[in-house]
Amino acid sequence: MITYVDTSVLAAYYCPEPLSILAERTLRRLSSPVISELPLVELTSAISRKIRERTLSREEGGRILTQIDAHVEEGYYRIMPVRPRDYRVARAWLGQLWGTLRTLDALHLAIAESAEASTLTADKRLAAEARSLGMSVKLLARHRRQ
């Protein structure tokens, strides 16, 4: 099955975070992960925020952005276009006026739905909303030891 990777997983993969090792293992198992330009924009914003918060240096941020660009250029990710239909679907879901679906999450899910892809996310709220919409989703999460 095709897997659409959202920003939360990409952030964990490219930036040092508690889920980084799990994100790397999971992404390496995917044959052709799918993204859109949306997570690239969101990830760039997240890196900028981390630099402002001083959890990443400008040099580290620059290296991460260069690495992402290289992965995109090398074809590691298949880039799905964001189509007018995706905006209409996201708006229709938001217009149901229930749940906690956020604007960009609705757009991520609409892109995944358009690609007939399962969504890979580390965002619990997005995963719950995807399930409520009847979509296939895998939540990337550390398992707690009992």
Instruction: Check which CATH number belongs to the domain holding 60 and give it.
Output: 3.40.50.1010
Domain count, the chain: 1
Residue 111 falls inside a structural domain: yes
Please give the pLDDT value at position 98. 86
- What's the predicted TM-score (pTM) here? 0.92
pLDDT band at 146 (very low <50, low <70, confident <90, very high): very low
Query: Domain for residue 146, yes or no?
Result: no
Domain membership of residue 129 (yes or no) is: yes
Average pLDDT, rounded, for the chain: 94
**CA-to-CA dists, residue 47 to 37, 54, 59, angstroms:** 15, 10, 11
Q: Which phi and psi (to 5°) does residue 120 adopt?
A: -105, 120
Write the pLDDT tens digit of every residue in 14-44: 998 899 999 999 999 998 899 999 999 999 9
DSSP assigned state of 18: T
Containing structural domain, residue 92: 3-139
